[in-house]
Every structure is written in C-alpha cells, then in structure tokens.
Amino acid sequence: MRFSAPKGTKDILPEEVGRWIKVEETVREVMGRFNYREIRTPTFEETSLFTRSVGEETDIVQKEMYTFEDRGHRSLTLLPEGTAPVVRAYIEHEMGKKSPHTKLFYIARMYRQENPQKGRFRQHSQFGAEAIGSSHPSQDAEIIQVALSIYENLGIHDPKGEHTQDRSSPLSTVGQAGSPLQLRLNSVGCSKCRPAYKEALKKDLASKLDRLCSDCQRRYETNPLRILDCKEKTCFVGQTFMSVPEGVAKITDFLCGECKEHFEGVKGYLKDLEIPFQLTPRLVRGLDYYTRTAFEIVSQKLGGQDSLAGGGRYDYLIEELGGEPIPAVGFSAGIERLLLVMPDTPQSAIRTSQSMDLFIATLGEEPKRRGFILMNHLRRQGLSCEMDFLNRSLKAQMRAADKLQCRYVFILGEEELKKGKGILRNMETHEQEEVGLEEVEGRVGERLSRG
C-alpha cells in the first residue's frame, strides 16, 4: 500500500525549502526593523478560545476548525488563525505590565478544513504581527507598512498610483501604473455605531432574502455584516465584486464621530507614508473581533482568491478574553500565496540554505577513509561538507557536487594522498590548485570570507 499526503496538505521538498527560508528570514529581518519580537504559541488551544474570539457564527467555527477531544476529555482545536493565541499569551503572561506597548510577530502553521484551492491548503503557513496598547491611527498605518515592507523586500513592490477616493467600483484603479499589489481599506465601526448599520443592512436586504444564498440567509439572522463577505456567484451580494450592491447601505455612512476621526487619521498617515489605498466599503474581514480599521493587500496575479494579507483593529478582543480593555491592531498573511507571486529567488540569495561549501571527491578506499576524517573535521570547524558514499566515478562525483551547488571540490586520489595533497577546484571559475590536506580548511575559509 502506498500513502500520499492528506487532502489539503503539501510536502515542501528540499528544492523548495530555500524560498521558504528566504521568506522567513525576510519576515524576521523586517519585523526586527519595526521592533516586533517573535512569539511562538502552541499548535493547539482550548476550543473555547476560538469560539469566543473568532465568533460562533463565522465559517471558521461553523465549518472549518479541526477540533478533537483529548484523553482528559478536553476540547482542543488546531490553530485556525494566529491572533487569538497571541492575545491569550499576552494576557496569561501579563505582558502589558512589562511594557504598555507590546509589538509581537509570529510564523506558524494554521489548520482549516476548507476546500483546497490554488495557494490555499488545509494545513498552511502564515506570518503575522500584533501591536497591543495603542489606539492611535499611526499604529494602524505602521501595521500596514510592515506588511508592505515585507512584500517589497521580497521583490513584490509596493503599490504605485494616486490615493483614491470612494468609488462605485474598485476596479477603476486595480493595477494602476502596473502595480502588482493593491491595498484595500475600510472602517467597520465600533460597538457604538455598528448596531445601527446592522439594522440598516438588514432592512435593505429584507426584500432580497430569496436572492441570497443559503449561507447568507442564515447570516441575515445571526451576523448580517458577514453577508458583505459573500463571494457566492449565485447570491445577490456575491454577484458584485468588492463594491456594496446598489440600494444597500455602506458602513462608512454610519460611523460615529470617533470612528470617522480615527479613519481619517489612518488615511492621513498612509498618505504621509505615500502608501496608496482603495477605499472599499464592503470590506469587513472574516472574523468577528475586528473594529474600526479593516484592510487587505491583494495581488492581481492570484485571480479570484487574490488576498495576500489582511488585518485590522480589534480593540475589544483582549477584554473579551479576560484581560484589561486594551486596544490592538494586527495582520496575518499566507506564505503559500506569497510564494505564488514572489519572483524566483537567485540561488546566491538562498545559498546558505541550499548549497555546500565543499565536496570531497575520492578515488580509492584509503583516500575515502582520509577524506571522511577530513570532512568531519571541517564540519566541526563550521564548513558545510559532503562526499560520495556510493563509490561513483570522479565524473559522477563532480556532477553530484554541481547539483549540490558546492563552491569547491577537493579531489583526493591514491597519487595525491602519497604527496599529502589534493586538488582544490573552484566550481564557479573552474580554477584549481594543489593544496595540502592540512591547508584545505584555511584555503576554503579564506576564499569563502572573500565572498
């Protein structure tokens, strides 16, 4: 019987790992520049953490979570998203007492039982950032800047074009100036102003219930705001692209004074940073804990499932999970989707993860023994080394060294061994010279230090 990877999962093969490492290294480097510190939470949490934070009526909780009962009869769930576990850790370890302004980031596996699609898997990887403690609109702008900076550093450049105003169709500025990315922005209000909008939305949709899909008919009673997130083509709302259907109220028309002021502040700071955005009044995000700012970063290259990253403000979540009433804002981004639009990484940029410093090619049993001893000595000194274990010909060993992207090959045969020397070959320039066995470490190290 042959096994294959479970549906919705994917093996990351050795030749692909270098690109993953490049993404992870870039995320850590950029996060460090912005003073975000890495946090790692468990792979599973108590199920109630997600039903309470994400919302019982969301698709994640209703359809997608991997939930199981352990031997202690506790209900546990594999991580479907990253914010709630970070907030749980923030509260549990009283991180706010150590610093009133806490900035954290994560790189983690997530699990959702949904239909696999291009760039979307049941087990997938995300990175994200959470800034806890500030309600100032500049913090929202910084979170967006962090995400865009990561894409820019990976060769997916920031959006170019004019700052846009609210229009009937966001398609009017998609891809402006050849941009591969677009920032969509909205405010979803707060507990003061959102109830009035929900009632207005229900009123506007009441006469169109029979034209809504079955999911939206259920959402109409439980969580009408989520109707705006529908992408079902047979649904009255889902038929339109990111604009609010005609005759349906926009949430930005119902914002209270404080939410309007905050939203204007966010837009102002984005303009100060020269980050263009598309106002998208239908953007509500998929989780219940969002307040005020909501945003998505999308790529035209991904087709219908175009979202690379999304996030926003969640000022009530910490209090909801048992902490103090502390404001916060964050984002999360899928790595699999990022890799779909990321330019091919030059091998030189991922050499540390995919290539070797030295390959020891041997001919004969005694050279192999001496080469084996030399290889392990060099490894202890910090060089990455490999040798042939299959007794292949010199030509085959050289091909193996080339496949491993080895910078140097040290050739050791019976005649070379008698002289206590071997032939050191530069695989890039093809230059070679005789080098004593005791000199290999110094010669290779010297050349590597020169780049």
Would you state the pLDDT for residue 288? 64
Residue with the larger pLDDT of the pair 215 and 407:
407
**Do the beta carbons of residue 96 and residue 90 sit within 8 Å?**
yes
Separation CA 36–CA 263 (nearest Å): 24
Residue 210 backbone zone (phi > 0: left; psi -120 to 50: alpha; other: beta): alpha
Q: Please state, for a pLDDT cut of 70, what percent of the chain lies above it.
A: 89
Give pLDDT, residue 115: 81
CB 247 within 8 A of CB 181: no
Domain residue limits, the chain:
14-189+255-341, 194-254, 355-449
Query: What are the tens digits of pLDDT across the range 111-129?
Result: 998 887 777 789 999 999 9
Instruction: Please compute, for residue 190, the number of CA atoms within 13 A of its CA located in the half-sphere on the CB side.
Output: 16
Dist CA 334 CA 286 (whole Å): 15
Exposed/middle/buried for residue 66 (C-beta within 10 Å: 0-12, 13-18, 19+) = middle
pLDDT for 117 equals: 76
Q: What phi and psi values does residue 242 have, to the nearest 5 degrees? A: -45, 5
Mean pLDDT of 175-203: 82
Residue-wise pLDDT for 16-43, tens only, equals 898 999 999 999 999 999 999 999 999 9
Q: Give dist(CA 443, CA 228) in Å, integer.
A: 65
Q: Which CATH entry fits the domain spanning 14-189+255-341: 3.40.50.2300, 3.30.930.10, 3.40.50.150, 3.40.50.2000?
A: 3.30.930.10
Whole-structure pTM value:
0.83
Residue 161 has pLDDT above 50, yes or no: no
pLDDT more than 90, % of the chain: 57
| Residue 450 pLDDT class (50, 70, 90 cuts) | low
279 Ramachandran zone, left/alpha/beta (phi>0; psi -120 to 50): beta
Average pLDDT over residues 438-446: 86
- Is 50 exceeded by the pLDDT of residue 134? yes
In the numeric block, which tokens belong to residue 50?
A: 């997600």
Residue 57: pLDDT above 80?
A: no
What one-letter code names the amino acid at 207?
S
Residue 6: count other Cβ atoms within 10 Å of its Cβ. Answer: 9
Specify whether the CB–CB gap between 254 and 227 falls below 8 A: no
Return the pLDDT at 153.
Answer: 92
Q: Is the pLDDT of residue 91 over 70?
A: yes
Average pLDDT, the chain: 86
pLDDT at 145: 94
Residue spans of alpha helices (H) in 157-286? 194-205, 214-222, 257-272
Contact between 111 and 135 under an 8 Å Cβ cutoff? The reply is: no
Q: What is the largest CA-CA distance in the chain?
A: 94
Beta bridge partners of 67: 77
**pLDDT tier at 349 (50, 70, 90 boundaries)?**
very low
Token representation of residue 175: 């891809």
Secondary element (H or E) of residue 366: helix 365-380
Considering the domain 355-449 in this protein, what is its CATH number?
3.40.50.800
Beta carbons of 291 and 329 less than 8 angstroms apart: no
Average pLDDT over residues 158-165: 42
Alpha-carbon distance of 361 to 410, in angstroms, equals 6
Tell which phi-psi region holds residue 95, choosing left (phi > 0), alpha (psi between -120 and 50) or beta: alpha
Assess whether pLDDT exceeds 70 at residue 303: no
Tell me, what's the pLDDT at 447? 78
The predicted model gives 266-275 an average pLDDT of 94
